[in-house]
Chains A and B, each alone.
Chain A
Amino acid sequence: MSLTILNAVVAVVAAIAFAAANAAYLVWAERRGAGRIQRRPGPNVNGPLGLLQPPCDGIKLMTKQLMIPGGADKALFMVAPVLAMAPAIMSFVTIPFSETIVAHSMNVGVLMIFAFASLGGMSILLAGWGSRNKYGVMASVRAVSQNISYEVPMLITVITIVMMAGTMNLKELVAAQAGGIWNWNLIPSLSSPLMPVSFLIFFICSLAETNRAPFDLGEAESELVAGFHTEYGSMGFGLFFMGEYANIVIGASLITILFLGGWDCPLGLFPGVWWFLLKIYMLIFSFIWIRWTFPRTTIYGLLNLSWKILIPISLFNLLLTAGLLKVF
């Protein structure tokens, strides 16, 4: 009994630490990456390669006063940032980093992650609504319609994969792809010839779900000032920021698990956590790359893309896979 509690505490602490460390150092990576892309050095003053920049930022954010705008809904205003961070951390609990490193392997792991991911949209809505700012309200309405419309193709794609593997346990999903790159879901097989397309859809949807450019309409700083976190300063803003990066890590992990064979080596040799980390950081790098390369879409362009292109294609893929699974 006590061992289970200890286990749980260790798991939660590890998840929080991993999320926080990732969030902090992804900010650094993003800024350095942006610097490289934009022909400038990026943060390079604090510590070697500017590696001490994230702690400095953290200290600055934590020591700043938390301002609550007059007329704001205090409860919602305070709850929203926590709600942005908490589901992200919760999702880490069930993500398998390797065969053994997983806090709690659940039979409904996929379902749980998507349930918590939907809560992220909630926090944006509460933040925008609670801060009594017109830009915030507009941004939160945008973000919610965006989250809803991108969850649909995302889930349809996941259903396709779950159907193929016959499980919702993330560990078993990876196990189903073990053995080398030819077994990964990314590679088209007889039963699912459209898998690369699904991968693309899922990738686009994770960009949209994490509110990353070119789908960062929730914070569209050139239109809506800072979107839903316009009124947030100090650690309230910090939590949103960390939540965003934690969500990116989860998105990248999900792509890795669902399509890229999790902790498996492309050649089937030495599977382990390093392969998992390598894959998610490569994906995160591509997220950063896309952010600093593309302009922002419009809200109607975004919704059109989801409802008119992604959902029909993913539905077709679902039907095709279902039919082919019956045949083969």
Chain B
Amino acid sequence: MSGPIHIRKDETFTLNVGPQHPATHGVLRVKMEMDGEYIVKAETVLGYIHRMHELMGENRTYPQVLPNLSRLDYLGAMGYTHGHVLAIERAAGIEVPERAEYIRAIMVELNRISSHLFWFGAFVMDLGGFTPLMYAIQDREHILDLMEAVTGSRLTYCYFRFGGLYNDVDDDFINATRAVIPMLRKSLKKYDALVTGNIIFRKRLEDIGPISAEMCRKYGATGPVARGAGLDFDVRKNEPYSVYPEFDFDIPVYHECDSLARYKVRMDEMEQSLRIIEQGLDKLPDGPIMPKKKPKLIKPPVGDYYQAVETARGSFGIRIVSDGTKNAYRFKLRSPTYSNMSLFDEACEGMMIMDALAMMGSLDLVIPEIDR
């Protein structure tokens, strides 16, 4: 159905989608050259909320940068701080107690669910259905309450410490989490029944916004975008870190390459995250949450360290070039949506604007994370 019939180069006009546009969920601008409703050419313009986190990473000490990481992605902040602490622990050789590792995994997965829930609502809103957002936010609220009780914040967590955690979880948290899991399972089933089967919803997503595996490779797309293109890639499995090898969970992969595949990947991922949380709570060992021996001042030895983690949006990479001082010499953040978004310009060519914006929604953009 999509695809231009005839495009006359002299009859196009430029449409600025953004920087303030309801579909971009932030300050992103896409300069689209339009032929009526068809996109002839698109160019994404970034940098409206660029904050230069990488420079801040260079002129602050490693612990001082930690809060910055959660400002990258306000929906899935836990995963990003996890990447940072893992990178420093790898560089400085800090051992992490097992209990802390388990709690970290539980927290990251809870955060992944809350992020996906919000995405789910916002995505259906992009397609013109408002109601799922309200339902999803209500479910997300339970998770935020859980995490607030332990971490002290609702969105921009700074909960992980080098070598451990800021705060131990108590029985209340464990019991409350156990209570939330079946509730979320029920909600996920309900969403599936209410939204996934809806004919208008399916018509708007099936075979729309194709992103092939080869395109993912050329643009470095990761996360649900790659998994929706049939690539069995998840850093948690491909490059195991933390305690993820201990858990039994599946990586949902869909081969359709369309927007619906990306939607289904995320919906299935929430289910898998619930499995991880359940196992984590069952296996949660006793013990300290901070290592006994920890350097007072974190000075990783000279070298170049890379750490990849799977955040809610894809593979987040952090590169630390250390010169042996307490500041990083170079602090590079490889954000997943940056790569995922970079393929939008090519992918949306020839699409109709409403399909292109549906595809943009299926990429799960968080603009602060692209702009950093």
Contact = CB atoms under 8 A, between A and B. Distances in A.
Given A294-B129, A295-B129, A38 B203 contact: no
Interface of B: 1-2, 13, 15, 21-23, 34, 36-37, 124-131, 134-135, 138, 198, 200-201, 203-204, 352-355, 357
Interface stretch (A86-94, A115-123, A219-227): A219-227
B52 to A, nearest CB: 30
B23 A295 contact: no
8 contacts: A34-B130, A221-B22, A222-B127, A296-B204, A298-B203, A298-B355, A300-B1, A304-B1
Nearest to B138: A39
Contacts of B203: 297-298, 301
A183 to B, nearest CB: 34
Q: Which 5 A-B pairs have the closest CB atoms?
A: A296-B128, A295-B129, A38-B134, A295-B127, A295-B128
In this complex, which of A134, A142, A222 has the most chain B Cβ atoms within 10 angstroms of its Cβ?
A: A222
**Residue picked from A214, A225, A296, most chain B C-beta under 10 Å:** A296
Given A295-B198, A297-B204, A214 B128 contact: yes
Contact of A222 (B22, B131, B134, B352): B22
Interface residues of A, number: 29
A38 B23 contact: no
A299 B354 contact: yes
Contact of B37 (A37, A39, A138): A138
Contacts of B130: 34, 38, 292
Contacts of A189: none
A79 B128 CA distance: 29
Contacts of B129: 293-296
A37 B357 contact: no
Contact of B125 (A40, A222, A304): A222
A86 B263 CA distance: 44
Given A295-B200, A297-B200, A222 B126 contact: yes
Contacts of A142: 37
Contacts of A134: 13, 15, 34
A38 B128 contact: no
Contacts of A213: 128
B357 A222 contact: yes
A273 to B, nearest CB: 34
Interface in A284-306: 292-301, 304
Contacts of B37: 138, 142, 299
Given A213-B128, A223-B357, A295 B134 contact: no
A220 B131 contact: no
Nearest to A293: B131
B28 to A, nearest CB: 14
A166 B331 CA distance: 81
B13 A220 contact: no
Given A222-B23, A222-B128, A223-B23, 16 more contacts: A34-B131, A38-B131, A39-B138, A138-B353, A142-B37, A213-B128, A214-B128, A214-B200, A222-B126, A293-B129, A294-B128, A295-B127, A295-B129, A298-B203, A300-B352, A301-B203
A38 B135 contact: yes
A23 to B, nearest CB: 21
A286 to B, nearest CB: 15
A134 B14 CA distance: 9
A214 B2 CA distance: 20
A141 B204 CA distance: 20
A264 interface: no
Nearest to A301: B203
Contact of B124 (A37, A39, A295): A295
A216 interface: yes
Nearest to B129: A295
A37 B131 contact: yes
A301 B127 CA distance: 13
Interface string A181-213: 000000000000000000000000000000001
Contacts of A40: 134
Nearest to B135: A39
Contacts of B204: 295-298, 301
Q: Which of A134, A295, A297 has the most CB of B within 10 A?
A: A295
A86 to B, nearest CB: 29
A304 to B, nearest CB: 8
Nearest to B21: A225
A300 B207 CA distance: 14
Contacts of B200: 214, 294-297, 301
Given A134-B13, A225-B22, A299 B352 contact: yes
A301 B202 CA distance: 12
A138 B34 CA distance: 10
Nearest to A213: B128
A142 B36 CA distance: 10
B259 to A, nearest CB: 12
B360 to A, nearest CB: 10
A301 B203 CA distance: 8
Most-contacted residue by chain A among B125, B135, B203, B354 (CB, 10 A): B354
Contacts of B13: 134
A177 to B, nearest CB: 32
Contacts of B22: 221-222, 225
Contacts of B135: 38-39
Given A222-B22, A223-B357, A225-B21, A296 B127 contact: yes
